[in-house]
Amino acid sequence: MKTLLIALAVFFTINISAQNISGQAFYESKTTMDMDGFGGREMSEDMKKTIADRMKSYLEKTYILTFNNNESIYKEEEKLDTNAGRGGFGMMMSSYTPGAQYKNLETNQLIEENEFFGKEFLVTDEVPQLEWVMSKESKQIGQYVAFKATAVKAVDPNDFSMARPRGPRGGRGDNNAKEEKNDSLTKKESDDPMDNIEVPKEVTVTAWYTPMIPVKNGPGEYAGLPGLILELNAHRTTLLCSKIIMNPKDTDKIEAPTKGKEVTREEYQKIVKEKTDEMRENFRGRGGRGGGRGGRG
């Protein structure tokens, strides 16, 4: 059966690879959050639910990829502001608003609009060249046969969607060490919640692509496989294609965004880091006074 699926996928690829391809792919994005790992062990279940509800607009999104053979534009579907989480992690997330992201696979160009603390930036970069490891494993996603591929991706140190609890993962060390660590984290949270999280240097990305739509494109910055990426998992975030419209009559025009101050990826990361460090110092200053904690340098 698997051999038949592969043969059918190759057949479709040969028949349409020489054609001009255009389409729209709709992706549902969901990010999970380990409330216990983020200091939630001391919270009631009602409090955890309240925080999860406030963070929902950050953790569940819909994106639209409009693509042709070589280009694409990737945008979040517009929704009403739900006035989600304020303060700490929520405040940091709400200060960053991603805009349209343009990819040109022929020129290897990546351009995206970002708004950060009310300032607009036009970030220029190259399309990441991941070293995909393709397997013969396949599955059906809707009407398409999809194949599995994995790669290791370096993580932007300011990408807080990749954040995880700081320190050893569960299962390491004895129970007393865990309790001491949790007590320490709980105390830290009153000063600076950002002390309790870290962004990993790299993560493993798993993608499912279909040669039946032979464009080397996918959601976000992901590309480089011999078919459109229909499903992707990176750390705690999963993107799943819920709908595809091939050769639509009316679509957004695919063109590079132009809004904002033009900066390189490295320059933008430096701007974000400086502002984040400034926020943390201000937060520590307010939380440290009267917090009963001394000896912190």
Q: pLDDT at position 234, please?
A: 92
Q: pLDDT at position 216, please?
A: 97
Beta-carbon contacts of 170 under 8 Å, excluding residues fewer than 6 positions away, are 37, 178
Per-residue tens of pLDDT for the chain, all 297 residues: 555 445 454 444 444 444 789 999 999 999 887 655 555 556 677 776 676 666 666 788 999 999 999 999 999 987 655 544 444 555 555 556 788 999 999 999 999 999 998 899 999 999 999 999 999 999 999 999 999 999 999 988 877 667 777 765 444 444 444 444 444 444 444 455 666 677 788 999 999 999 999 999 999 999 999 999 999 999 889 999 999 999 988 777 899 999 999 999 999 999 988 988 888 787 777 654 444 443 433
Tell me if residue 271 falls in helix, strand or coil: helix
Q: pLDDT at position 94, please?
A: 53
Q: pLDDT at position 39, please?
A: 54
Q: pLDDT at position 190, please?
A: 43
R_g of the chain, CA atoms, integer Å: 22
Contact 116/156 with Cβ under 8 angstroms? no
Q: Which of 141, 170, 95 is nearest to 244 (CA)?
A: 141
pTM, entire model: 0.75
User: How many helical (H) and strand (E) elements, i.e. helices and strands, does the chain have?
Assistant: 5, 14
| Cα–Cα distance for residue pair 294/184, rounded to 1 Å | 14
E-assigned strands of the chain?
A: 22-31, 60-68, 71-76, 96-104, 109-116, 119-126, 133-141, 144-154, 164-165, 197-198, 202-210, 228-234, 237-246, 261-264
